[in-house]
Structure 1
Amino acid sequence: MEFTDRLVDIIAEGFDIVIRTGPLQDSRLSARRLLGFKGKIVGSPGYFDRKGIPVHPSELEHHACLHYRFPHSGKTEKWCFSSEANIKELSLPTAMICNSLEARIHYAKQGVGLAWVPDFSVNTALEEGSLRSVLDSFIAHTDAFSMVWPSGRQTIPKLRTFIDFMSSHRSL
């Protein structure tokens, strides 16, 4: 088992199965959706006390933003808003760029800035009150986790067992 944010080549690197987000881009692979999620913009109560609470995405241009850099492309993750936000191009300030979800959540809790994160990663912090979410009605980004494995060959029993188990326990 390997834990990485790196986009692995499942076939060339000999992986039996991976869990990933985003659309399937390789026709040599099979996939099964596991769990959907939404993006959230979060910050600490202390941050909002100092900087104010944005009520429209355009106000993010006046906030410290904690960005994610994709290890495989070097690009930063876009903060996606619904068409109701009526935003053509948004230039978000950069307080920090990193390739770690955990670091962005940590720094958001410390009041360094606002982070765009998947909802499941901050549910507990939101319930406890160490983070608050903003602009929820403007967030358009949804994605899903999927299991992805090489297709075109008979699935070995241990892999079939894993796929069936994960499929029946999607809420784990």
Structure 2
Amino acid sequence: FDVVLRTGDAADSRLMTRIVGTFHHRLVASPAYLDCRGIPIKPADLAHHACLRHRYPTTGKLEAWPLRQDRMAGTIEPPATVVASALEPLISMAEAGLGIVSLPDFVLYEHLRTGHLVPVLSDHTEHSGVFRLLWPSSPYLSPKLRVFIEFMTANLFPPK
């Protein structure tokens, strides 16, 4: 490969890396779902909601939701009403009014803009991650690769 765009940490020290942007997880649901089931006010309220969860296909573990809790309340593990190993079915189910989902903001922009999905528990979520470019380490970076990396760094996540 010449270069890849990935999220998360760069664990392979044989690769060169450059961070090109950040993302955040958001909890969202359709207005129809919230009209029917009510709006959760605090993370503990999720126990009474349908939660659409993502399972990592490589490990089989459920992705943690980015819930910030009071020190006294402990950790909230939302129920897993429906589980999927891809984001697209979770988005479709949330838009269809089947529950609340935690997704990265970069897949939500259009859904939030159109109002098909709305944020919930925004004051109780905290998560940030990074996008990074990775490429094989070499003493000589080809001009083509250098230009591509500079272009992606400048344009993939432009300042708002």
Q: Flag whether TM exceeds 0.5 (same fold).
A: yes
Hey, which bits of structure 1, 4+ residues long, moved more than 4 A? 83-87
Q: Distance in 1 between matches of 2:145 and 2:57?
A: 28
Unaligned runs of 5+ in 2: none
The corresponding residue for 2:119 is 133
Q: Distance in 1 between matches of 2:148 and 2:125?
A: 33
CA RMSD across the alignment: 1.7
Does the 8 Å CA contact 1:85/1:138 hold for their aligned counterparts? no
Distance change >3 Å, CA 55–CA 86, structure 1 → 2: farther
TM-score (norm 1): 0.84
**Deviation of 1:80 (Å):** 1.8
Q: Distance in 2 between matches of 1:86 and 1:54?
A: 19
Percent sequence identity over aligned pairs: 39
Q: Does 1:72 align with 2:58?
A: yes
- Once the two structures are overlaid, the 10-residue window that deviates more, 75-84 or 123-132, is 75-84
The corresponding residue for 1:89 is 75
Does the 8 Å CA contact 1:42/1:131 hold for their aligned counterparts? yes
Q: Distance in 2 between matches of 1:133 and 1:105?
A: 13
Q: Distance in 1 between matches of 2:41 and 2:73?
A: 14
Deviations 1:44-82 (A, max 9, x none): 111111111001011111111111111222211100223
Q: Does 1:103 align with 2:101?
A: no
The corresponding residue for 1:17 is 3
Unaligned runs of 5+ in 1: 1-14
Does the 8 Å CA contact 2:27/2:101 hold for their aligned counterparts? yes
Query: Quick one: which of 30, 40, 46 aligns to 2:26?
Result: 40
The corresponding residue for 2:102 is 116
Q: Which amino acid aligns with 1:94?
A: A
Q: Distance in 2 between matches of 1:85 and 1:55?
A: 17
Q: Does 1:60 align with 2:46?
A: yes
- Once the two structures are overlaid, the 10-residue window that deviates more, 36-45 or 91-100, is 91-100
Q: Distance in 1 between matches of 2:22 and 2:146?
A: 22
Q: Distance in 1 between matches of 2:71 and 2:119?
A: 17
**Deviation of 1:161 (Å):** 2.1
- Corresponding residue pairs, total: 158
Deviations 1:110-166 (A, max 9, x none): 011111001121122212111111111111111111111122442223222211111
